[in-house]
């Protein structure tokens, strides 16, 4: 599949640009994950921080992008939440341990063991991406793909602030 990868973090205006179009294998969903065909992916300033190295490298040649809208095309074992063809959204927050005091108190966003889409794991600047089904959202039909994508970052942050 085609994907954008951060070859060597550097200012985006660098020559060569740190973000390069590459070929990567289509990922295989692990147990509890779904494989998603990317329909749209927003651009967030955090993606720039990953690309330019303001956030330290967590995965060499990572594919940024965490405002993802796509369709489920395959499932790993033990998945139940989504069916093939479902349209879902994938945000920045990808994993929490579920057992630390933050997770147990409903503040999993503070989990010291958290992982992130487009930083710890390849994101949506690609044709396909995987996501643990517990960290994805159904996208209502009333939203077009490009309208829904930014809601998966700025929208979630605003919603969380109200809680």
CATH no. for residue 24?
A: 3.90.180.10
Give the separation between CA 129 and CA 38, rounded to whole angstroms.
7
Reference 153, options 19, 47, 11, 18; nearest CA is 47
- d(CA 78, CA 63) in angstroms, rounded, equals 26
- Write out the residue range of the structural domain in which residue 105 sits: 2-162
Q: How many domains does the chain have?
A: 1
Q: What is the distance between the alpha carbons of residues 37 and 43, in angstroms, rounded to a whole number?
A: 17
Instruction: Report which of 122, 128, 115, 132 is spatially closest to residue 34, judged by C-alpha positions.
Output: 132
Q: pTM for this structure?
A: 0.93
CA dihedral 3→94→137→109, nearest 10 degrees, is: -140
Q: What tens digit of pLDDT does each residue of 68-114 get?
A: 999 999 999 999 999 999 999 999 999 999 999 999 999 988 999 99
Residues of the chain whose pLDDT is less than 70?
Answer: 155-163
Strand, coil or helix: what is 38? strand
Rounded-to-integer distance, Cα 159 and Cα 132, Å: 21
């Amino acid at each position: 599949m085609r994907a954008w990868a951060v070859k060597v973090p550097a200012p985006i205006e660098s020559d060569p640009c740190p973000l390069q179009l590459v070929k990567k294998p289509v990922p295989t969903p692990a147990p509890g994950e779904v494989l998603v065909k990317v329909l749209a992916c927003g651009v967030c300033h955090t993606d720039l921080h990953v690309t330019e190295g303001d956030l330290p490298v967590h995965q060499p040649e990572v594919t940024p992008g965490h405002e993802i809208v796509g369709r489920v095309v395959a499932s790993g074992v033990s998945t139940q939440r989504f069916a093939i063809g479902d349209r879902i959204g994938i945000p920045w927050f990808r994993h929490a341990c579920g057992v630390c005091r933050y997770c147990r108190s409903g503040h999993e966003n503070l989990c010291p063991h958290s992982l992130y889409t487009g930083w710890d794991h390849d994101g949506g600047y690609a044709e396909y991406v995987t996501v643990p089904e517990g960290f994805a959202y159904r996208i209502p039909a009333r939203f077009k793909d490009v309208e829904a994508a930014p809601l998966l970052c700025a929208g979630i942050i605003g919603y969380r602030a109200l809680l």
